[in-house]
Amino acid sequence: MTDSTRQSPAGAAVPEEPGRPLNGILLLVGAMMLVPIMDGIAKTLSADYATAQVVWARYFFHLAFLLPLALWRYGRAALLPKRPVAQVLRGGLLLASTVLFFAAIRTMPLADALALVFVYPFVVTALSPLLLGESVGIRRWSAVLVGFAGALIVIRPGLGVFQWSALLAAGAGTVYAFYVMATRKLAGSSPPLVTLVFTALLGAVAMSFVAPAFWKSPAAADWALMALMGLVAAAGHFLLIKAYEQASASLLSPYGYSEMAMAVVVGLVAFGDFPDAGTWLGVAVIIGSGIYIAVRERKREVAPATVAKPDARL
């Protein structure tokens, strides 16, 4: 699932007025073009392998590609982030969100599942008064309610198009919201690359205990796909890190929704899936509400993590 438009992909503090916003936007959009490719590979592999094995591959190969870079830059400190207990909690939330999302896309079109993951800004906004001590005005509450209405349009409970996997995708977005809030709590405690490596290490270790129970020996071509999935995840994270070095999250947040366009392309080309009219309506409502919240955040100069988008899948 998707780690995307947040304060930074690893919670590091970002300058309020960075000097190259256009570069940041281009880097972020580049990352958003990569994430659905990773999701598409995961969906392809899910046809033959259990979700646990696919999630393991996503984290293991992500770690394999990212660890050398982190060790080169930070040495052994790359494996020793500050506040390790909080880091474990944060990484566990991302892992749970990834498992739910990968389980959803086994039987659900990518674009539909991603649309439901986009409920996370509304969950963050709704819970921020309780968990982050932030005030939420009537306009943002209205945007939250409209956004959840959009999610219901996509899910369509009680109608023939309803899929139980839609609840998994919505669950992935909800868990991701808690991940975003945990990321905010950890902001600035460790360099982004260190936090990313620790998160990948946690996922790889945890799934190494689970995956053997579902293991199926991959063919050579599938090993290659698994490695490619990890490489795409690592590349996406790297672009995200560079994006947030160039521009503030409040500026970048709306551009995170460009991921939806690529998800539609991947779904159509690889699986022949194209959202129906009802799904497009729900997507439009969700994205419109999310962008409104992002704009309000920027105007109010509220901490950017409130409108973050997700590294769940990254």
Return the pLDDT at 15.
Answer: 45
- Decide: pTM greater than 0.75: yes
**Residues 240 and 4: beta-carbon distance below 8 Å:** yes
| DSSP codes joined into one string, 115-154 | HHHTTHHHHHHHHHHHHT-----HHHHHHHHHHHHHHHHH
Higher pLDDT, 18 or 246: 246
Tens of pLDDT, residues 295-309: 776 666 544 444 444
User: 8 lies in a domain?
Assistant: no
Return the pLDDT at 8.
Answer: 45
**Residues 196 and 90: beta-carbon distance below 8 Å:** no
User: 112 lies in a domain?
Assistant: yes
Return the pLDDT at 298.
Answer: 66
Query: Average pLDDT of the chain?
Result: 81
User: 11 lies in a domain?
Assistant: no
User: 1 lies in a domain?
Assistant: no
Return the pLDDT at 250.
Answer: 62
Q: How far apart are CA 39 and CA 58, in angstroms?
A: 10
Q: Spell out the residues 6+ positions from residue 137 whose beta carbon is closer than 8 angstroms to its own.
A: none
Question: Average pLDDT for residues 116-135, to the nearest whole number?
Answer: 80
Tens of pLDDT, residues 223-280: 999 999 999 998 888 887 788 778 766 677 778 788 888 999 999 999 998 888 888 8
The H-or-E segment that residue 202 falls in is helix 192-210
pLDDT at 11 over 60: no
Return the pLDDT at 308.
Answer: 45
Return the pLDDT at 96.
Answer: 96
User: 92 lies in a domain?
Assistant: yes
Question: How many structural domains are present in the chain?
Answer: 1
Tens of pLDDT, residues 39-59: 999 999 999 999 999 999 999
Q: How far apart are CA 217 and CA 308, in angstroms?
A: 37
User: 9 lies in a domain?
Assistant: no
User: 140 lies in a domain?
Assistant: yes
Tens of pLDDT, residues 76-114: 777 777 788 888 898 899 999 999 999 999 998 898 888
Task: Write out the residue range of the structural domain in which residue 252 sits.
Answer: 21-307
User: 7 lies in a domain?
Assistant: no
Question: Average pLDDT for residues 182-201, to the nearest whole number?
Answer: 79
Instruction: Tell me how far CA of residue 59 lies from CA of 19, 128, 140, 214, 314, in angstroms.
Output: 33, 29, 35, 16, 9
